[in-house]
A and B are shown apart, each in its own frame.
Chain A
């Protein structure tokens, strides 16, 4: 069913267009926006015979994240069809209306792009056949409506209103997500059809109350039900076409849509009845009461919307099958009359420059056409016979009248329903009478408003005609649609009902009559009510909301400042604390940390070496002023580590560690030279004990971990490397074969990291203006003597020998301890020695010292060696080798991995020298400038 995908995805893809054609004029933008919507609408109407008449269920699905149960699955049943019709139909009218409403200065491209995005999100919500997909689109409606409400982002009210809407509906969306996941886990599927068929399973589940409350939180926030209703009036700072669209047919209807969608799965319990009907009743009354006292036209309509949504919610809460039909019917009716009323309010605002009822009056003289339209729509809202609002409202009264479920309070629901009906009549009357009749305020006379462009009124006319047509010929106009939608909502047989204007003189009709007369009475004697309302405390929702947000931000800020004060130590301790806890807990839970593997015998030399290493490590902590001694202590530790490597059968490691030790000490000496000491920085007693505790815990934990690992030998994959070293890699030194062959890709990555570090250092040292210290930490001036002559002579003599040794180690590395890393370090040490002995200038005059191309060349060579195998049709970095016989030397092996190792060698030499020479040169240049 690609039609389904087309209907949902057309607006989504088209959302890009208005922005792109923005420069081509306002009309082009509007046409480009309207065409895809029209196309989608036609496609939808094309499915009407199968969905509405034959009652088919159209489905289409493509896996999206099947592992998580998320499918790009759409369905089109009666309910989805009805909502899609409202979304696309009213959407099309809103696009036409919006084109004439927007000022020249407003960005039409952005407006229509957002509108289409929102439309696509709504279509996604109503057509989703997968619960998770529904939540995804649900969130998209929250975000796109946020952008639409805040369209005039220059206005503080728009920004605040948008933020409030996003906060509430976004939070509700999160609750909905949690609820949906619970439902999905209970049912075992996120497929909507499966979920709807598993109503009994869900309702009997122990977590049903939680699921219901979570889903209802999503519904109530979206549909602006008490106590989450307050965001809706503040969303009125949006452009009126947005209000007409979001708050009549779409956004707020998403909540009640969800009630209808989940009706077969969640409804039918006492909890559902109590929660949904009572919240609906409170919202119905509160909204109607508040609407009466609004002076802002759109504010009045906003509270009226809240009230009508409460009515629909209440109907769903009543849990009878007829009530559900009435709810669906009222969804249709409310969408039509409310959209037209919002548009009419927009026209009035557009033509007079104000929406304040107190500043309006007598507009029938200037806007007769708009007056006629607004009057009919208001009458529909009030529930006057021969209009659509009357029909659904009568169904509502009928359901309210025979609600046996409240027990002895049986009279309560019908009474309150009638009162709400009266209030609704009163505010509808106010909307018409205060605006179009009575005297014309002086300011308006000067303004002399006139009817808007013909085409701007067409959408209103279409909607008002629909109100009339449904009101007069309900069974013909809306019968099949309502039947299909209600069948899909109930998930089964429809109850008996008749769509007729006259059902005889019964209770609902009397309630309607009472509401009409009572409403007129309230309007006529509204002055005392207004006086009473003025004395009531009126909580200012935005201020309260703003305060709550500020309080939350303050709490979060304090929390953040507590864990994140910007100091490195705080971060390290926050990281180390859980590490220590987890490690100690793990060790405590394994009393067998001393495994069965025999402890290897201890010899005197090892004890001595360990004691020296431990003392040297502790000395680095104790030594405070003597940096040089501390440095030597690090070297001692490093040397003993390399001895340990040597003793424990790791000659390669010992060689590497040894050569790295030399360059590390040089690096640190250079580093400390630049960092002047300004006395000892004392930590507080508390800091020291905290750190002592942390480091001791970690030390003990790691020590135990090491002992555990050593005495519990596990399975190893190393046998593979040992077995395949010669047949697969052609090398007897398994460590080197692993580096250049088996795990060559790793090594390539590692030399790349080294190259990046070197390049980063090179860049960081550019223009570094460090002050050259004149005194060392002990207060003695730095000597400016040349290096001793003996050192110069010896180091120069050593250089060729060292280079020769390095070459030897590089070449033999494949079969004996050595290789690119070690050879590179040895070469670097030999060259650095020349820097130390003879100075930067002496070396740079004799040795090419442009090291960064060297680093790049090394990485490139290693990478190209890998690529060569790719050219020959083998995987990246496959190595090959051949034995050749040279005179004198004898059997000699040539392996492509050696070329790779050469790349490693060059990178290591280049990177090490780049780092040290750059740092060293810094001192020389500065010194010369200083002199």
Chain B
């Protein structure tokens, strides 16, 4: 399972970076989405893989769970990261539209100057 996840994370990172390095704005945006997924998955895997043990404390259970549940901290961090990722993506998209309106080009190589 670890090997599979590591492969998936690696492929997601590689494709995300490759797309971000393209000149097309559309590819840049797709790359951003993939990168956000890849980063979340990387953080998630780094806290260890746990099956069938979500961080929910069953009713009446004593607190002695001895670390058999999945790491809740990483999950909490990623949960907000997913939502913020959407916010940032939306901001990037709108910024790109604004830039597009000014430059009238979707080629990143033509978006070099702050002056138009």
Question: Could you tell me which A residues sit within 8 Å of B by CB distance?
Answer: 565-569, 572-573, 576, 599-603, 606-607, 610, 613-614, 617-618, 620-621, 627, 630-631, 634, 637-638, 641, 644-645, 647-653, 656-657, 660, 663-664, 667-668, 671-672, 674-678, 681, 683, 687, 691-692, 694-696, 698-700, 702-707, 709-711, 713, 716-719, 721-723, 725-727, 732-735, 738-739, 743, 746-747, 750, 753-754, 757-758, 760-761, 764-765, 768-770, 815-817, 821, 825, 908, 911-912, 915, 919
Contacts and interface: CB of A to CB of B under 8 A. Distances in A.
Contact of B72 (A627, A664, A710, A718): A718
Given A650-B70, A739-B80, A750-B80, A621 B48 contact: no
B13 to A, nearest CB: 4
Contacts of B49: 600, 648, 710
18 contacts: A566-B112, A567-B109, A634-B30, A667-B93, A671-B97, A694-B18, A695-B13, A705-B42, A718-B47, A718-B73, A722-B55, A734-B72, A735-B72, A750-B80, A757-B88, A768-B97, A817-B54, A915-B87
B83 A825 contact: yes
Contact of A757 (B12, B25, B91): B91
Contacts of B96: 671, 675
Q: Looking at B51, B76, B85, which has the most chain A CB atoms within 10 Å of its CB? A: B76
Interface string B54-82: 11111100010101011111111011101
Contacts of A683: 22-23
B53 A698 contact: no
A161 B48 CA distance: 65
A722 B57 contact: yes
Contacts of B106: 675-678, 681
Given A667-B89, A671-B29, A706-B5, A568 B10 contact: no
Contacts of B37: 637-638, 641
Nearest to B33: A634
A915 B90 contact: yes
A599 B97 CA distance: 46
A600 B80 CA distance: 28
Nearest to B108: A568
Q: Looking at A663, A687, A703, A753, which has the most chain B CB atoms within 10 Å of its CB? A: A703
A656 B17 CA distance: 24
Nearest to B38: A702
A735 B69 CA distance: 12
A489 to B, nearest CB: 56
Given A660-B83, A710-B2, A735-B79, A698 B14 contact: yes
A672 B73 contact: no
Contact of A653 (B4, B8, B11, B78): B78
B14 A602 contact: no
A765 B94 contact: yes
Q: Looking at A610, A668, A710, A743, which has the most chain B CB atoms within 10 Å of its CB? A: A710
Given A653-B79, A722-B69, 11 more contacts: A569-B108, A576-B17, A649-B55, A649-B70, A650-B54, A691-B21, A694-B17, A732-B58, A733-B56, A753-B87, A768-B101
B53 A649 contact: yes
B45 A709 contact: yes
Nearest to A618: B15
A691 B82 CA distance: 27
B26 to A, nearest CB: 6
Per DSSP, are chain A's interface residues mostly helix, strand or loop, or mixed?
A: helix
A649 B106 CA distance: 41
B51 A649 contact: yes
A672 B12 contact: no
B97 A699 contact: no
A29 to B, nearest CB: 43
A573 B21 contact: yes
B66 to A, nearest CB: 9
A666 to B, nearest CB: 10
A640 to B, nearest CB: 8
B112 to A, nearest CB: 3
Contacts of B100: 674-675, 770
B47 to A, nearest CB: 7
Contact of A657 (B34, B56, B57, B82): B82
A916 to B, nearest CB: 8
Contacts of B15: 617-618, 620-621, 695, 699
Contacts of A607: 4
Interface string B89-116: 1110111111011000011110111000
A568 B23 CA distance: 9
B21 A599 contact: no
Nearest to A667: B90
Given A668-B33, A757-B87, A768-B98, A747 B9 contact: no
Given A620-B34, A664-B86, A675-B106, A656 B6 contact: no
A607 to B, nearest CB: 7
A610 B72 contact: no
A408 B55 CA distance: 90
B28 A568 contact: yes
Q: Top 8 A-B pairs ranked by shortest CB distance? A: A703-B10, A699-B14, A566-B112, A709-B46, A649-B70, A734-B72, A695-B18, A757-B87
A671 B93 contact: yes
Given A657-B82, A764-B98, A702 B3 contact: no
A713 B49 CA distance: 10
Contacts of A821: 79-80, 83
A732 B55 CA distance: 8
